[in-house]
Amino acid sequence: MQNKEFNVDTLVVHGNKSYEEKTGAISFPIYQSATFRHPNFNESTGYDYSRQQNPTREEVECVVANLEKGIRGFGFSSGMAAITTVLTLFRPKDHIVVSEDLYGGTYRIFEEVFKNYGLEFTYVDTSNIDSVKEVIQENTVAIYIETPSNPMMRVTDIREISNIAQEINALLIVDNTFLTPYYQRPLQLGGDIVVHSGTKYLGGHNDTLAGFLVVKDEKLAAQIELLQMTSGAVLSPFDSWLIIRGIKTLGVRLEKQQENALQIAKWLEKHENIEKVYYIGLENHIGYEVNLKQSSGFGGMISFTVKDPSMVESILRNIKLIMYAESLGGVETLITYPLKQTHAAIPEEIRNKLGVNDRLIRLSVGVENVSDLIEDLEQALSV
């Protein structure tokens, strides 16, 4: 199938090959094999050992690469395994500029692991272009951004950051987990590497861990291919199949999640107990116009602050339909307390600066009936 000729809502359904060529199987097979027989001496089927490559993983890697308009995709055992692989591209004393508002696990691996290997990190509000320019150093080799960011939903102008990166010959790495290639394709905006926690929207059902990298440069692809095969944190055949299956409904899920999220965000804005709502689909969001320039949607992630911190525990105890759980992007609506969960690894002074305080709640909106979700939030906020 010539994937790049089709629209994204068709691509997500048909994947890379659309069907398995030998048998015509519509559901791509799970090649649950660690090793593969050689036809003869010095001959190979193209598959030798699943750490190096497996047909099922190859299929999902091609699917994600096609969606992101990249030349190569790489599947990993988790989003953090993908990020780890990116960081092993660099050397001691290399400097990386990072979005200051980002997932706590990413901050943890930067600060508690890779600083020990000599990498240097500067955290800045990447939605402020001047702030990024001010922290560039002679040894800056990369800029790492989340847009929208987690959990404060800041929007960074990918094209503008790409211009900065190109001027200093640095890589631009973009975590595209929140919007996915269905709504945003950073490689077409100047990014060099796209990062995904495939666990989230790509899988979409809270049933597997996965991570992906996508690149647009052959040299970079060769580097990552070596690192992936050598380190071995690869996506298993069965998990690859789960992601393939999940992506087939990515479009319909995201459209419904976005529709629900916009209604919930507008409802939260009017609630007497809510102080502020962070959703990039609201016209009063500071990043609304930038997001319109570089994406085709807003996604299903909302953060909001309550007026009284004592309400947080009450809400988390009293929700009935919405589930108090980590992660995001699944069909079920999940509610998270970043201070104690996703961002606990970030020092208190940094959290306070960003607004990740004891009144902030994050909502990953699912595909349920929106009236039921609002009713659940209403009763929890009223206890």
Specify the 3-state DSSP secondary structure of 240. Answer: helix
How far apart CA 378 and CA 370 sit, in angstroms, is 12
352 by DSSP, 3-state: which? helix
The alpha carbon of 202 is separated from its chain's Cα centroid by a whole number of angstroms, namely: 9
> By 3-state DSSP, what share of the chain in percent is helix, strand and coil, each rounded to 5?
40, 15, 45
Active site residues: 51, 103, 175, 200
DSSP letter (8 states) at residue 169: T
C-alpha 280/C-alpha 152 separation (Å) is: 10
Tokens 């973009």 found at = 174
Q: At what angle do helices 237-248 and 250-270 cross, to 10 degrees?
A: 70
Could you give the C-alpha distances from 246 to 60, 98, 208, 326, in angstroms and in order? 11, 30, 10, 19
Query: Distance (Å, rounded) from C-alpha 30 to C-alpha 148?
Result: 34
Which of helix, strand or coil describes residue 381? Answer: helix
> What span, in angstroms and rounded, lies between the C-alpha atoms of 14 and 58?
15
As a whole number of angstroms, the distance between CA 7 and CA 4 comes to: 8
